[in-house]
Each structure stands twice: as C-alpha cells, then as structure tokens.
Structure 1
Amino acid sequence: MPPPKSPLDDLRREIDHIDDTIHDLLMRRAAVVERVGVVKSQIEAAEGQVSGNPQTPIYLRPAREAVILRRLMARHAGSFPAMAVTRMWREMITAFTRLQGPFAVAVYAPEDRRGFWDVARDHFGSVVPMTAVNSPAAAIRAVSEGTATVGVVPYPAEDDADPWWRFLVSSDARTPRVVARLPFAGRGNARGEDRDALAIALVPHEPTGDDRTLLGIELGHDLSRGRLKDHLETSGLAPTYFCTWHARDPSGPSIHLVEVADFVDHTDPRLAAFAGRLGEIPVRINIVGGYAVPLHFSHDARKV
C-alpha cells in the first residue's frame, strides 16, 4: 500500500517546476547575451577600422544596469524582499557581462578599510575576479592600464588633503570616468561602518533619467565656494556636493570637484553659460563622470 499523499507534495512539485522554468530562462538569457557580445565586438571592430584606432571592447553598461533594476523595483510586489531581488540581479548582471568578455575589479581595500571589499562584492557579485589594492591611485592605474575593467574607490571626502579624484580631472581618453555609486541597491551586511564608494571605468557616463554628474572645474585663480555655487546655480547646474584642492598656494589655482543634480555631457549649453559667467577667470571644465541615483530601501540587511 503506497504511503498517504502529503498535502505538501503538490506544492513541492510546483516549486520544482518553477525552479526548472527559472533555470531554463537563465540559460536562454545567457544564449542571448552571448549573441549580444558578438554583435558588440563586430560594431567595435568596424568603428576601429573607420577611426584607425582599434580598441579592446568593454561590455560594461552601468546606466543600462540601473534602468533594469529600477524597472524591476517598480513592478515588484508580494512578500519576497526587494533587496533580495536586486542582489540576485546584480549577481546575474555581472555573470552575464563576463560571458561577453573579460571582466575584473580592482578594489581599494587596505587592511583597515575592508568594508569597501564587501561593498564591491555586493555590487559586482561573488564570481567576478577582484583584486585588493592599497590606494585609490592603484585602482585608477589598474583601469587605465587595462588590468581591471572597473576600479572601486572611496566617495570623495571634503577634508582630503591629497585627493585621488584630481587624477580623473583630465581630457585624456585613457583616464577612467566615474560610472556608478555604491551601494546602488541597498546596504547589505558589509563589515564596518557605512562606506560609500564610486566605481570607475573606461566607459562613458550615460543618462538614466535620475542622475548625478561630477564636474572637474579647474580655475586659474581662487574663487570662493559661495560665488562658484551661485554661478553654477544661475547657469542651471544645481550643485549637491563640493570638494576643493589647491596645488600649492590656497589663493592660487584650484580644482573643484562638483556634483550636480542632473545628467551633463560636454555638449550641454549650461557648461558654456557657466564659463561665461566667470568672466576673465581662466577655467577648464572636465566631465569626471557620474552615476545613476541609487535605489533607496527603508531598511538594510544589518537591521532587524
């Protein structure tokens, strides 16, 4: 006589079927991503032939990734934790990106600041190759030289006397750009205090509909932060954060890192309007990059 049928049997079979369906779709998605990689390589090769400057393609698209996660969060419902959904998709996004080509991360993570490693792992997943470096400059160098696709560096501090970000204030095409702010999808159970970071890469900053842009503003002589802020706001560039570095004399030339609440690129007429308001003050403006505004959750993984 067969054992009595448990009322859970049908539910477990349904769960198994759902798991199989999810797995089938993941394998199908992987096949599509591989085709995307082939098409991207063909486009890069064609553009390289036209320009006479062939380059190794980079398959990272931080803006596209942000749009995907925002769309999923907008449709999410039910009891399954939203942060778990984003964590699963972050794992998948990086895994699928690696199917298209090489992908590695250099993380600023000295012995006393290991929290940055956790923040990077939460964003880029547990299977991507990651290397710890002891300075932000080393992370920048790894990206510039191509030994890493992405570098993870601390969010700029106003009181930093030797700021790493000044090395990104450049028009050189081999200078990395800021492409994301971490954590993007909520704080996980990273060790230590809350740590915000920026991801840098050799890819352009692209719009997502809710963005911040980092401007590197080089001035020929000193200008008070208050006047600089007024000129930016009058030009339609609302600043949300400032850092300043003086190479030598505090009253002499300066470089300002300014975060503005919008997407800005080199063709934006607001940049010309801002430069015009400075009058005879020598100015050079570089787009240091930018990021999609991170998702916000009412609680994180370390709180109950």
Structure 2
Amino acid sequence: MNARRLLLALHWSLLAVLVAGVVVAGAWRLGGGRWERVETASMGTVAPVNTLLWVEPVDAASLRVGDFVTFHPPGHDEVSYSHRIAAVHPDGTFETQGEITAPDPWRLSADDLVGRVVMRWYGVGWLVVAAPVLLAGGLLVWLVVASLRDRSWRLPVAIVGTALVLSVAIVVHRPLVRAQQLGFGEVPGGARATYVSTGLAPVRLQAHRGPHVDLRDGEVGSVLITHRDHEGRYGISMSPRIPPWWWIVLVAACFLPSLASLARPGPRIGAHALDRSLRAAR
C-alpha cells in the first residue's frame, strides 16, 4: 500500500469513527439518556472534575445503596448533582452523599431522580468546556491553510496553527494543574492543609521547608506545614509531577508531523525536466 492509499484509508477510517459516534450519541439521546459534566470534586477519584457522565433513566424502586445517580435537589430543578445513594427508606425516599463530602442535607423522591450513571469518561468534560475555543481556532486554521497556494506550506502552517489553538485553550481553561483547598487549620507544631486535585496532571503540594504530597486527579491529601515563610505565613507551593510515560507520549507526538511528511508523496521530476537540467549542468 503506497502513501496515497494509506492516507485515503486513514481519512475514511476517521470519517467512519465520526459517523459511528454521531449515531451512538443520537441513539443514546433518543432512548432517554443524557450527559452530565462533573463540576465539583465531591466524588473524588470516582468522578473527578470534568468527567463526562452517561446517565440513563432508571426506576427508583430498583435503586440500592451505593448506586451512582444523578438528581435534582428538592425544589431546584435547574441544578443537577451526581452522588451515591447512602440510604434507602421504606417510604421510597433515599439519601445521597459524595465520596469526599458529608451526607447531603435532603431526602429525595422518585420525582427528583434524573437517572443512574452507567459510564464515566474521565477528562472529556474539559473538551466540552474548551469546545468554543477549539472549534473557532480549528476553523481559523483551516481557512488559513486552505488559502495557501503553495502546498508545501500547508502542513507546517497547520501544525503551528493547531499548536497555537491548543495552547490558547490550555491557558484559558487551565485543565492540567489545579487543586482545591478543602481545609486549613492550626495544629500543634504548625498547620495542616488539605487539598483535592482537580486537574488532569498529577501535582505535588510542597510545604514551605517541609514535607510534600503527590496527588492525581480526584485524590485528597494533606500536608503538615511546620515553618513559616519570610512574611510569617504558612505557605504551600504546587507544581506538576509529570510521570515518565507522559513524556514518552509527548515526544512521540512531536515526531508525528515528520512521519506525516514522510508519508506524503513528494514532487516527481519528469524525465524531460531531468534531461534539461543535466544539459544545463554540462
């Protein structure tokens, strides 16, 4: 299979995947399913911030303790929560609770129930949030590339433009390194700070001149701070802790444009043009 056929097969494969995705999403929606994006860290590592939840309708009578459900708090149909069922009462009402939070202050009935979570797509919610930037930037890059008459410039411009669009989305929405403070209080010998990681990349929380804790998305950890900074405050710094396999993926991604350029057939020099060039050289 030559390079042209390989690229054509790749294009058709991507189109088939896109069509299949649209069909599956449409069937899910027509069957009563819906999607919910996690916006808080209450479910810890079970459903970190910006996990995309697939929620299907369910009979409230079939629910059991531990089921992961989506619901509206009583009297607030405009708000949705996704927590586990903590208790089921004989009258058909039930209580809920997050993985890292206290029990919710309400009892729910079947009318408050939206459905049961059947799938969790970690991190996909960030794509939903960044969709306006990615779509607008992608359209702009496509228009610029399509306007270039010299085909040799199209691939480099597409690569640089795509990198810029991704960079803008990352700067605007900051999906990689994030953490939310859950608690802070003085203890004998210093202060203890508790955080939950809410970004895609693992993070290290380092106490000033003290210990540290490494957290992945949705994990909760605490740090004992025993030294104050030069301003007399207890301080914590946060930095990414990129694992080795992340670097391997990033380096491999950097070589993809080179592989794509090698797969594209280069310009061919005709026999007559080559003969003329040889004559001119003589």
Q: TM-score, normalised by structure 1?
A: 0.26
More strand by share: 2
Structure index of larger Rg: 2
Q: TM-score, normalised by structure 2?
A: 0.27
Q: RCO (CA 8 Å, sep 6+): is it higher in 1 or 2?
A: 1
